[in-house]
A and B are shown apart, each in its own frame.
Chain A
Amino acid sequence: MGALFIRDARLGLRAGGGALVGILFFLAVIAVVPFGVGPDLKLLARIGAAMLWIGALLATLLGLDRLFQADREDGSLDILIMASERHMLALTVLVKCLAHWTVSVLPLVIAAPLLGLFMNMEPVAIGATTLTLLIGTPAITLIGAVGAAVAVSLPRGGLLVSVIVLPLTIPVLIFGVSASYGAIEDPAPFLAPLLILGAITLFFAVIGPWAAAAALKSSAD
Protein backbone atom coordinates (compact mmCIF):
# COMPACT_ATOMS: atom_id res chain seq x y z
CA MET A 1 0.00 0.00 0.00
CA GLY A 2 2.86 2.35 0.83
CA ALA A 3 4.50 1.49 -2.46
CA LEU A 4 1.26 2.20 -4.29
CA PHE A 5 0.99 5.56 -2.57
CA ILE A 6 4.55 6.53 -3.55
CA ARG A 7 4.07 5.28 -7.10
CA ASP A 8 0.87 7.26 -7.60
CA ALA A 9 2.35 10.36 -6.04
CA ARG A 10 5.38 10.14 -8.32
CA LEU A 11 3.25 9.63 -11.41
CA GLY A 12 1.16 12.62 -10.43
CA LEU A 13 4.15 14.88 -9.87
CA ARG A 14 5.83 13.96 -13.12
CA ALA A 15 5.34 16.23 -16.11
CA GLY A 16 1.99 15.51 -17.67
CA GLY A 17 0.64 14.33 -14.36
CA GLY A 18 -1.62 17.31 -14.21
CA ALA A 19 -0.86 18.38 -10.65
CA LEU A 20 0.61 21.69 -11.76
CA VAL A 21 -2.18 22.29 -14.27
CA GLY A 22 -4.70 22.09 -11.43
CA ILE A 23 -3.01 24.94 -9.55
CA LEU A 24 -2.78 27.01 -12.70
CA PHE A 25 -6.47 26.43 -13.32
CA PHE A 26 -7.27 27.46 -9.75
CA LEU A 27 -5.17 30.59 -10.20
CA ALA A 28 -6.89 31.39 -13.50
CA VAL A 29 -10.38 30.97 -12.04
CA ILE A 30 -9.58 33.28 -9.12
CA ALA A 31 -7.94 35.79 -11.45
CA VAL A 32 -11.01 35.84 -13.67
CA VAL A 33 -13.38 36.66 -10.80
CA PRO A 34 -12.39 40.35 -10.39
CA PHE A 35 -12.88 40.85 -14.11
CA GLY A 36 -16.34 39.41 -13.82
CA VAL A 37 -17.61 41.20 -10.71
CA GLY A 38 -15.44 44.32 -10.92
CA PRO A 39 -12.43 45.30 -8.79
CA ASP A 40 -14.51 46.41 -5.80
CA LEU A 41 -12.32 45.38 -2.88
CA LYS A 42 -15.14 45.25 -0.35
CA LEU A 43 -17.24 43.02 -2.55
CA LEU A 44 -14.25 40.79 -3.28
CA ALA A 45 -13.53 40.44 0.43
CA ARG A 46 -17.13 39.40 1.00
CA ILE A 47 -17.33 36.76 -1.73
CA GLY A 48 -13.67 35.71 -1.40
CA ALA A 49 -14.26 32.58 0.67
CA ALA A 50 -17.00 31.36 -1.68
CA MET A 51 -14.83 32.04 -4.74
CA LEU A 52 -11.87 30.16 -3.26
CA TRP A 53 -14.16 27.22 -2.54
CA ILE A 54 -15.70 27.17 -6.02
CA GLY A 55 -12.28 27.50 -7.63
CA ALA A 56 -10.90 24.65 -5.55
CA LEU A 57 -13.95 22.52 -6.33
CA LEU A 58 -13.59 23.02 -10.07
CA ALA A 59 -9.84 22.49 -9.98
CA THR A 60 -10.33 19.26 -8.04
CA LEU A 61 -12.91 17.99 -10.52
CA LEU A 62 -10.57 18.79 -13.39
CA GLY A 63 -8.04 16.13 -12.54
CA LEU A 64 -10.46 13.46 -11.40
CA ASP A 65 -11.00 11.62 -14.67
CA ARG A 66 -7.31 10.66 -14.72
CA LEU A 67 -7.60 8.94 -11.36
CA PHE A 68 -8.21 5.50 -12.82
CA GLN A 69 -8.03 6.08 -16.56
CA ALA A 70 -4.25 6.24 -16.83
CA ASP A 71 -4.01 2.98 -14.91
CA ARG A 72 -6.61 1.41 -17.13
CA GLU A 73 -4.74 2.40 -20.28
CA ASP A 74 -1.48 0.74 -19.26
CA GLY A 75 -3.22 -2.25 -17.71
CA SER A 76 -2.11 -1.76 -14.13
CA LEU A 77 -5.71 -1.28 -13.08
CA ASP A 78 -6.45 -4.88 -13.98
CA ILE A 79 -3.51 -6.00 -11.86
CA LEU A 80 -4.77 -3.95 -8.94
CA ILE A 81 -8.21 -5.48 -9.29
CA MET A 82 -6.74 -8.98 -9.51
CA ALA A 83 -4.76 -8.31 -6.33
CA SER A 84 -8.05 -7.78 -4.50
CA GLU A 85 -7.71 -11.30 -3.14
CA ARG A 86 -4.86 -10.10 -0.96
CA HIS A 87 -5.88 -6.48 -0.33
CA MET A 88 -9.38 -5.23 -0.18
CA LEU A 89 -9.98 -3.29 -3.39
CA ALA A 90 -11.69 -0.50 -1.47
CA LEU A 91 -8.47 -0.01 0.49
CA THR A 92 -6.50 0.25 -2.74
CA VAL A 93 -8.94 2.86 -4.00
CA LEU A 94 -8.62 4.77 -0.72
CA VAL A 95 -4.83 4.82 -1.03
CA LYS A 96 -5.08 5.98 -4.62
CA CYS A 97 -7.44 8.74 -3.55
CA LEU A 98 -5.09 9.81 -0.79
CA ALA A 99 -2.17 9.93 -3.20
CA HIS A 100 -4.23 11.90 -5.70
CA TRP A 101 -5.30 14.31 -2.98
CA THR A 102 -1.76 14.80 -1.68
CA VAL A 103 -0.34 15.50 -5.10
CA SER A 104 -2.99 17.51 -6.88
CA VAL A 105 -5.32 18.92 -4.23
CA LEU A 106 -3.02 19.69 -1.31
CA PRO A 107 -1.12 22.25 -3.44
CA LEU A 108 -4.44 23.97 -4.05
CA VAL A 109 -5.01 24.24 -0.32
CA ILE A 110 -1.51 25.60 0.16
CA ALA A 111 -2.04 28.12 -2.63
CA ALA A 112 -5.35 29.25 -1.20
CA PRO A 113 -3.93 31.77 1.36
CA LEU A 114 -1.98 33.52 -1.39
CA LEU A 115 -5.07 33.76 -3.57
CA GLY A 116 -7.03 34.92 -0.52
CA LEU A 117 -4.71 37.98 -0.42
CA PHE A 118 -5.67 38.71 -4.01
CA MET A 119 -9.29 38.70 -2.92
CA ASN A 120 -8.56 41.23 -0.16
CA MET A 121 -9.70 38.84 2.58
CA GLU A 122 -8.99 39.34 6.27
CA PRO A 123 -6.27 37.12 7.82
CA VAL A 124 -8.84 35.31 9.99
CA ALA A 125 -11.02 34.60 6.98
CA ILE A 126 -8.02 33.33 5.01
CA GLY A 127 -7.06 31.00 7.82
CA ALA A 128 -10.61 29.72 8.22
CA THR A 129 -11.04 29.12 4.50
CA THR A 130 -7.74 27.27 4.28
CA LEU A 131 -8.72 25.12 7.23
CA THR A 132 -12.12 24.27 5.73
CA LEU A 133 -10.49 23.51 2.39
CA LEU A 134 -8.03 21.20 4.16
CA ILE A 135 -10.87 19.32 5.82
CA GLY A 136 -13.39 19.46 3.00
CA THR A 137 -11.44 18.71 -0.18
CA PRO A 138 -10.74 15.05 0.68
CA ALA A 139 -14.52 14.54 0.55
CA ILE A 140 -14.58 15.95 -2.99
CA THR A 141 -11.80 13.60 -4.06
CA LEU A 142 -13.54 10.62 -2.45
CA ILE A 143 -16.90 11.42 -4.06
CA GLY A 144 -15.08 12.02 -7.31
CA ALA A 145 -13.50 8.57 -7.09
CA VAL A 146 -16.98 7.10 -7.49
CA GLY A 147 -17.60 9.21 -10.56
CA ALA A 148 -14.19 8.40 -12.00
CA ALA A 149 -14.67 4.66 -11.40
CA VAL A 150 -18.16 4.70 -12.93
CA ALA A 151 -16.98 6.47 -16.07
CA VAL A 152 -13.60 4.72 -16.36
CA SER A 153 -14.51 2.63 -19.38
CA LEU A 154 -15.85 5.59 -21.34
CA PRO A 155 -13.50 7.07 -23.93
CA ARG A 156 -14.29 10.70 -23.07
CA GLY A 157 -15.57 10.51 -19.53
CA GLY A 158 -14.03 13.76 -18.27
CA LEU A 159 -17.07 15.97 -18.68
CA LEU A 160 -19.44 13.23 -17.60
CA VAL A 161 -17.48 12.75 -14.37
CA SER A 162 -17.93 16.42 -13.52
CA VAL A 163 -21.65 16.31 -14.32
CA ILE A 164 -22.15 13.24 -12.14
CA VAL A 165 -19.99 14.38 -9.25
CA LEU A 166 -20.98 18.04 -9.00
CA PRO A 167 -24.48 17.54 -7.51
CA LEU A 168 -23.07 15.23 -4.86
CA THR A 169 -20.43 17.74 -3.79
CA ILE A 170 -22.93 20.50 -3.08
CA PRO A 171 -23.25 19.65 0.66
CA VAL A 172 -19.46 19.92 0.98
CA LEU A 173 -19.55 23.33 -0.66
CA ILE A 174 -22.44 24.54 1.50
CA PHE A 175 -20.85 23.58 4.81
CA GLY A 176 -17.35 24.64 3.75
CA VAL A 177 -18.48 28.12 2.78
CA SER A 178 -20.75 28.53 5.79
CA ALA A 179 -17.91 27.56 8.13
CA SER A 180 -15.63 30.08 6.41
CA TYR A 181 -18.21 32.81 6.86
CA GLY A 182 -18.87 31.69 10.42
CA ALA A 183 -15.29 32.63 11.31
CA ILE A 184 -15.71 36.31 10.35
CA GLU A 185 -19.39 37.03 10.92
CA ASP A 186 -20.41 37.00 14.54
CA PRO A 187 -23.84 35.37 14.81
CA ALA A 188 -23.02 32.53 12.43
CA PRO A 189 -21.38 29.53 14.12
CA PHE A 190 -17.97 28.35 12.98
CA LEU A 191 -17.45 25.06 14.77
CA ALA A 192 -20.74 23.36 13.89
CA PRO A 193 -20.41 23.52 10.08
CA LEU A 194 -16.73 22.61 10.40
CA LEU A 195 -17.60 19.48 12.36
CA ILE A 196 -20.31 18.56 9.85
CA LEU A 197 -17.74 19.04 7.10
CA GLY A 198 -15.42 16.61 8.87
CA ALA A 199 -18.32 14.19 9.25
CA ILE A 200 -19.05 14.37 5.51
CA THR A 201 -15.41 13.65 4.73
CA LEU A 202 -15.35 10.64 7.05
CA PHE A 203 -18.69 9.41 5.69
CA PHE A 204 -17.47 9.49 2.11
CA ALA A 205 -14.16 7.96 3.15
CA VAL A 206 -16.23 4.86 3.86
CA ILE A 207 -18.87 5.02 1.13
CA GLY A 208 -16.72 6.42 -1.68
CA PRO A 209 -13.94 3.81 -1.96
CA TRP A 210 -16.41 0.99 -1.43
CA ALA A 211 -18.71 2.16 -4.24
CA ALA A 212 -15.77 2.97 -6.49
CA ALA A 213 -14.33 -0.51 -5.92
CA ALA A 214 -17.66 -2.10 -6.83
CA ALA A 215 -17.83 -0.02 -10.02
CA LEU A 216 -14.23 -0.87 -10.97
CA LYS A 217 -14.87 -4.56 -10.46
CA SER A 218 -17.91 -4.51 -12.70
CA SER A 219 -16.10 -2.63 -15.46
CA ALA A 220 -13.02 -4.84 -15.38
CA ASP A 221 -14.29 -7.99 -17.11
Chain B
Amino acid sequence: MSNVSSKPGRWIDLANPTRFLNLAESVLPWLGAMTLITLAIGFWMSMAAPDDYQQGVTVKIMFIHVPFAWLSMMCYTVMSIAALGTLVWRHPLADVAAKAAAPIGAVFTALALITGSLWGKPMWGTWWVWDARLTSVFVLFLMYLGVIALTRAMDDPAKSAKVTAILTLVGFVNIPIIKFSVNWWNTLHQPASVIRMGGSTIDPSLLRPLLVMAIGFTLLFFTLHIMAMRNEIWRRRVTAMRRIAARSAERKDT
Protein backbone atom coordinates (compact mmCIF):
# COMPACT_ATOMS: atom_id res chain seq x y z
CA MET B 1 0.00 0.00 0.00
CA SER B 2 2.62 2.49 1.05
CA ASN B 3 4.90 1.97 -1.93
CA VAL B 4 1.96 2.28 -4.31
CA SER B 5 0.82 5.60 -2.96
CA SER B 6 4.28 7.07 -2.63
CA LYS B 7 5.22 6.41 -6.23
CA PRO B 8 3.75 9.56 -7.78
CA GLY B 9 5.42 12.88 -7.13
CA ARG B 10 5.24 14.98 -4.04
CA TRP B 11 2.47 17.08 -5.53
CA ILE B 12 0.08 14.16 -5.67
CA ASP B 13 1.02 13.23 -2.12
CA LEU B 14 -0.33 16.54 -0.94
CA ALA B 15 -3.74 15.62 -2.35
CA ASN B 16 -4.26 13.62 0.79
CA PRO B 17 -5.48 16.16 3.37
CA THR B 18 -3.90 14.24 6.25
CA ARG B 19 -0.50 14.39 4.59
CA PHE B 20 -1.02 18.07 3.94
CA LEU B 21 -1.88 18.61 7.60
CA ASN B 22 1.28 16.77 8.67
CA LEU B 23 3.37 18.85 6.30
CA ALA B 24 1.71 22.05 7.48
CA GLU B 25 2.38 21.02 11.08
CA SER B 26 6.10 20.66 10.42
CA VAL B 27 6.49 23.65 8.09
CA LEU B 28 4.42 26.26 9.92
CA PRO B 29 6.76 26.95 12.91
CA TRP B 30 9.71 27.47 10.58
CA LEU B 31 7.75 29.60 8.17
CA GLY B 32 6.34 31.67 11.00
CA ALA B 33 9.74 32.20 12.56
CA MET B 34 11.25 33.18 9.21
CA THR B 35 8.39 35.61 8.63
CA LEU B 36 8.95 37.25 12.02
CA ILE B 37 12.70 37.52 11.53
CA THR B 38 12.48 38.86 7.98
CA LEU B 39 9.80 41.37 8.90
CA ALA B 40 11.81 42.49 11.94
CA ILE B 41 14.94 42.97 9.83
CA GLY B 42 12.91 44.71 7.13
CA PHE B 43 11.30 46.98 9.70
CA TRP B 44 14.66 47.89 11.19
CA MET B 45 16.15 48.48 7.75
CA SER B 46 13.28 50.67 6.65
CA MET B 47 13.54 52.72 9.84
CA ALA B 48 17.27 53.12 9.25
CA ALA B 49 16.83 53.99 5.56
CA PRO B 50 17.46 57.63 4.65
CA ASP B 51 14.55 59.95 3.92
CA ASP B 52 13.77 60.78 0.34
CA TYR B 53 15.09 64.15 -0.77
CA GLN B 54 11.69 65.13 -2.09
CA GLN B 55 9.13 63.18 -0.12
CA GLY B 56 10.85 63.31 3.26
CA VAL B 57 9.74 60.82 5.87
CA THR B 58 6.54 59.82 4.05
CA VAL B 59 8.58 57.64 1.71
CA LYS B 60 8.56 55.03 4.49
CA ILE B 61 4.92 54.29 3.59
CA MET B 62 6.34 52.74 0.45
CA PHE B 63 7.90 49.94 2.49
CA ILE B 64 4.47 48.59 3.38
CA HIS B 65 2.36 49.94 0.52
CA VAL B 66 4.33 48.35 -2.31
CA PRO B 67 4.51 44.84 -0.74
CA PHE B 68 0.75 44.96 -0.04
CA ALA B 69 0.06 45.93 -3.64
CA TRP B 70 2.32 43.19 -4.99
CA LEU B 71 0.72 40.63 -2.73
CA SER B 72 -2.80 41.65 -3.68
CA MET B 73 -1.95 40.69 -7.26
CA MET B 74 0.08 37.63 -6.32
CA CYS B 75 -2.74 36.32 -4.15
CA TYR B 76 -5.18 36.55 -7.04
CA THR B 77 -2.66 34.75 -9.24
CA VAL B 78 -2.38 32.01 -6.60
CA MET B 79 -6.16 31.77 -6.57
CA SER B 80 -6.25 31.51 -10.35
CA ILE B 81 -3.67 28.72 -10.34
CA ALA B 82 -5.72 26.98 -7.65
CA ALA B 83 -8.80 27.47 -9.83
CA LEU B 84 -6.97 25.80 -12.72
CA GLY B 85 -6.07 23.04 -10.27
CA THR B 86 -9.73 22.55 -9.47
CA LEU B 87 -10.91 22.54 -13.06
CA VAL B 88 -8.08 20.80 -14.87
CA TRP B 89 -6.30 18.47 -12.47
CA ARG B 90 -9.20 18.11 -9.97
CA HIS B 91 -6.72 18.48 -7.16
CA PRO B 92 -8.78 18.07 -3.98
CA LEU B 93 -6.90 20.74 -2.06
CA ALA B 94 -6.97 23.34 -4.84
CA ASP B 95 -10.46 24.37 -3.87
CA VAL B 96 -9.40 24.68 -0.22
CA ALA B 97 -6.44 26.80 -1.30
CA ALA B 98 -8.59 29.14 -3.39
CA LYS B 99 -11.17 29.52 -0.65
CA ALA B 100 -8.54 30.20 2.01
CA ALA B 101 -6.67 32.73 -0.13
CA ALA B 102 -9.64 34.96 -0.98
CA PRO B 103 -10.13 36.71 2.40
CA ILE B 104 -6.37 37.14 2.85
CA GLY B 105 -6.10 38.69 -0.59
CA ALA B 106 -9.04 40.98 0.10
CA VAL B 107 -7.36 42.21 3.31
CA PHE B 108 -4.05 42.82 1.52
CA THR B 109 -5.83 44.72 -1.24
CA ALA B 110 -7.71 46.83 1.29
CA LEU B 111 -4.44 47.57 3.13
CA ALA B 112 -2.76 48.53 -0.14
CA LEU B 113 -5.62 50.93 -0.90
CA ILE B 114 -5.58 52.40 2.62
CA THR B 115 -1.80 52.88 2.81
CA GLY B 116 -1.83 54.26 -0.73
CA SER B 117 -4.47 56.79 0.20
CA LEU B 118 -2.52 57.77 3.35
CA TRP B 119 0.52 58.27 1.13
CA GLY B 120 -1.47 60.12 -1.51
CA LYS B 121 -2.77 62.77 0.87
CA PRO B 122 0.61 64.43 1.58
CA MET B 123 2.07 63.71 -1.88
CA TRP B 124 -0.77 64.31 -4.32
CA GLY B 125 -2.90 66.42 -1.99
CA THR B 126 -5.88 64.09 -2.21
CA TRP B 127 -7.03 60.89 -0.60
CA TRP B 128 -8.31 59.37 -3.78
CA VAL B 129 -8.22 59.96 -7.52
CA TRP B 130 -10.00 57.93 -10.17
CA ASP B 131 -6.84 57.09 -12.00
CA ALA B 132 -6.27 53.86 -13.89
CA ARG B 133 -4.10 52.07 -11.33
CA LEU B 134 -6.24 53.03 -8.33
CA THR B 135 -9.46 52.21 -10.10
CA SER B 136 -8.26 48.82 -11.31
CA VAL B 137 -7.00 47.88 -7.83
CA PHE B 138 -10.37 48.92 -6.43
CA VAL B 139 -12.04 46.68 -9.00
CA LEU B 140 -9.74 43.88 -7.85
CA PHE B 141 -10.96 44.47 -4.29
CA LEU B 142 -14.59 44.26 -5.46
CA MET B 143 -13.80 41.03 -7.28
CA TYR B 144 -12.29 39.50 -4.16
CA LEU B 145 -15.50 40.39 -2.31
CA GLY B 146 -17.59 38.92 -5.14
CA VAL B 147 -15.65 35.66 -5.03
CA ILE B 148 -15.99 35.51 -1.23
CA ALA B 149 -19.72 36.21 -1.47
CA LEU B 150 -20.17 33.46 -4.02
CA THR B 151 -18.18 30.94 -1.97
CA ARG B 152 -20.16 31.74 1.14
CA ALA B 153 -23.50 31.62 -0.70
CA MET B 154 -23.33 27.85 -1.20
CA ASP B 155 -23.04 25.59 1.80
CA ASP B 156 -21.80 22.57 -0.12
CA PRO B 157 -18.07 23.00 -0.85
CA ALA B 158 -18.14 20.44 -3.65
CA LYS B 159 -20.67 22.58 -5.52
CA SER B 160 -19.15 25.99 -4.89
CA ALA B 161 -15.64 24.85 -5.84
CA LYS B 162 -16.15 24.72 -9.60
CA VAL B 163 -18.26 27.81 -10.06
CA THR B 164 -15.92 29.85 -7.89
CA ALA B 165 -12.99 28.56 -9.94
CA ILE B 166 -14.69 29.67 -13.16
CA LEU B 167 -15.45 33.11 -11.77
CA THR B 168 -11.86 33.47 -10.51
CA LEU B 169 -10.45 32.61 -13.91
CA VAL B 170 -12.73 35.06 -15.71
CA GLY B 171 -11.71 37.76 -13.23
CA PHE B 172 -8.03 37.09 -13.90
CA VAL B 173 -8.42 39.36 -16.94
CA ASN B 174 -8.03 42.25 -14.52
CA ILE B 175 -4.53 41.33 -13.30
CA PRO B 176 -2.61 42.29 -16.48
CA ILE B 177 -4.74 45.44 -16.66
CA ILE B 178 -3.57 46.43 -13.17
CA LYS B 179 0.03 45.56 -13.90
CA PHE B 180 0.25 47.57 -17.10
CA SER B 181 -2.31 50.28 -16.33
CA VAL B 182 0.49 52.67 -15.36
CA ASN B 183 2.24 52.08 -18.69
CA TRP B 184 -0.82 52.14 -20.94
CA TRP B 185 -2.46 55.23 -19.52
CA ASN B 186 -0.81 58.42 -18.42
CA THR B 187 -1.69 58.42 -14.76
CA LEU B 188 -0.96 60.18 -11.51
CA HIS B 189 0.36 56.95 -10.05
CA GLN B 190 4.02 56.56 -10.94
CA PRO B 191 5.00 53.94 -13.55
CA ALA B 192 6.73 50.72 -12.54
CA SER B 193 10.06 51.60 -11.00
CA VAL B 194 11.39 48.45 -9.35
CA ILE B 195 11.09 45.77 -12.02
CA ARG B 196 11.68 47.33 -15.43
CA MET B 197 14.00 47.34 -18.39
CA GLY B 198 17.33 48.98 -17.68
CA GLY B 199 17.34 48.37 -13.96
CA SER B 200 15.50 49.85 -11.04
CA THR B 201 15.08 53.61 -10.68
CA ILE B 202 15.01 53.42 -6.90
CA ASP B 203 18.20 54.16 -5.01
CA PRO B 204 19.76 51.00 -3.46
CA SER B 205 19.50 52.50 0.01
CA LEU B 206 15.70 52.49 -0.35
CA LEU B 207 15.43 49.44 -2.60
CA ARG B 208 17.10 46.99 -0.21
CA PRO B 209 14.69 47.50 2.72
CA LEU B 210 11.80 47.38 0.24
CA LEU B 211 12.87 44.00 -1.12
CA VAL B 212 13.37 42.60 2.40
CA MET B 213 9.92 43.84 3.38
CA ALA B 214 8.45 42.33 0.22
CA ILE B 215 10.01 38.95 1.00
CA GLY B 216 8.81 39.23 4.61
CA PHE B 217 5.25 39.97 3.61
CA THR B 218 5.29 37.19 1.01
CA LEU B 219 6.37 34.77 3.74
CA LEU B 220 3.60 36.18 5.92
CA PHE B 221 1.10 35.52 3.15
CA PHE B 222 2.17 31.90 2.79
CA THR B 223 2.13 31.37 6.56
CA LEU B 224 -1.39 32.77 6.80
CA HIS B 225 -2.47 30.87 3.71
CA ILE B 226 -1.28 27.50 5.02
CA MET B 227 -2.90 28.23 8.38
CA ALA B 228 -6.16 29.19 6.70
CA MET B 229 -6.06 26.03 4.56
CA ARG B 230 -5.49 23.95 7.69
CA ASN B 231 -8.46 25.61 9.37
CA GLU B 232 -10.60 25.00 6.31
CA ILE B 233 -9.71 21.29 6.25
CA TRP B 234 -10.47 20.99 9.95
CA ARG B 235 -13.74 22.87 9.48
CA ARG B 236 -14.82 20.45 6.75
CA ARG B 237 -13.88 17.49 8.91
CA VAL B 238 -15.90 18.85 11.82
CA THR B 239 -18.89 19.30 9.50
CA ALA B 240 -18.51 15.78 8.17
CA MET B 241 -18.19 14.33 11.67
CA ARG B 242 -21.24 16.23 12.84
CA ARG B 243 -23.25 14.78 9.96
CA ILE B 244 -22.09 11.28 10.83
CA ALA B 245 -22.90 11.87 14.50
CA ALA B 246 -26.35 13.18 13.63
CA ARG B 247 -27.02 10.16 11.43
CA SER B 248 -25.94 7.65 14.06
CA ALA B 249 -28.00 9.46 16.69
CA GLU B 250 -31.04 9.12 14.46
CA ARG B 251 -30.46 5.39 14.14
CA LYS B 252 -30.17 4.96 17.90
CA ASP B 253 -33.51 6.66 18.46
CA THR B 254 -35.46 4.41 16.15
Report whether chain A binds chain B. yes
Q: Is the CB of A164 within 8 A of B150?
A: yes
B177 contacts A150, CB within 8 Å? no
Task: State A166–B146 Cα separation when bound (angstroms).
Answer: 9
Q: Of A166, A214, A219, which is within 8 A of B159 by CB?
A: A219
- Give Cα A208 to B169, complex, Å: 11
From 135 to 163 in chain A, residues with beta carbon under 8 angstroms from any chain B beta carbon are 143, 146-147, 149-151, 153-154, 157, 160, 163
CA separation between A140 and B153, bound complex, in Å? 23
Residue pairs across A and B with CB atoms within 8 Å: the count is 63
Q: Complex Cα distance A160/B147, Å?
A: 10
Chain A: CB-nearest residue to B162: A218
Residue from A146, A166, A170, A219 within 8 A of B167 (CB atoms): A146
Check B150–A151 contact: CB distance below 8 A: yes
What is the distance, in angstroms, from A61's C-beta to the closest C-beta of chain B?
Answer: 13
- In the bound complex, what is the Cα–Cα distance between A150 and B149 (angstroms)? 12
26 cross-chain CB contacts under 8 A: A143-B170, A149-B163, A150-B163, A151-B150, A153-B154, A153-B159, A154-B153, A157-B153, A160-B150, A163-B145, A163-B146, A164-B149, A164-B150, A164-B167, A167-B139, A167-B142, A167-B146, A168-B170, A168-B171, A170-B139, A207-B170, A211-B166, A214-B87, A215-B166, A218-B166, A219-B159
The answer to whether A150 and B167 touch (CB under 8 A), given A160-B153, A164-B146, A171-B177, is yes
Judged by a CB distance under 8 angstroms, whether B143 is at the interface is yes
User: In whole angstroms, how far apart are the Cα atoms of A160 and B135 in the complex?
Assistant: 22
* Nearest CB of A to B80, in Å: 13
In the complex, what residues of B have CB within 8 A of residue A211's CB? 166, 169-170
Q: List CB contacts (< 8 Å) of A83-130 with chain B.
A: none
**A-facing residues in B118-174 (Cβ within 8 Å):** 135, 139, 142-143, 145-146, 149-150, 153-154, 159, 162-164, 166-167, 169-171, 173-174
Interface size class, chain A: 20 to 34
Other A-B contacts than A146-B170, A168-B173, 18 sampled, CB-CB below 8 A, are: A146-B166, A149-B163, A153-B154, A154-B154, A160-B150, A163-B149, A164-B167, A167-B146, A167-B174, A168-B170, A170-B139, A171-B177, A207-B173, A215-B166, A215-B167, A218-B163, A218-B166, A219-B163
Main secondary structure of the interface of B (DSSP, over half): helix
**A150/B166 contact (C-beta < 8 A), A160-B150, A214-B87 known:** yes
Listed from nearest, the 5 A-B pairs whose CB atoms lie closest are A218-B162, A167-B142, A150-B163, A164-B146, A167-B139
Question: Within the assembled complex, what's the spacing in Å between the Cα atoms of A166 and B35?
Answer: 37
Instruction: Give the complex CA separation of A214 and B142 in angstroms.
Output: 23
Cβ-defined partner of A150 (8 Å) among B139, B143, B150, B174? B150
Chain B's interface size range is 20 to 34
When chains A and B are docked, how far (Å) is the Cα of A170 from the Cα of B173?
12
* Cβ–Cβ < 8 Å partners of B146 in chain A: 163-164, 167
A143: which B residues are within 8 A, CB to CB?
170
CA distance A171 to B185 in the complex (A): 13
**A151 CB contacts on chain B under 8 angstroms:** 150, 153, 163
Q: Nearest Cβ in chain B — how far from A89, in angstroms?
A: 13
1/0 contact string of B201-234 vs chain A (CB within 8 Å)? 0000000000000000000000000000000000
Within 8 A of B (CB), among A152-201: 153-154, 157, 160, 163-164, 166-168, 170-171
Q: Which residues of B contact A163 (CB under 8 A)?
A: 145-146, 149
CB-based contact A215/B162 at 8 Å: yes
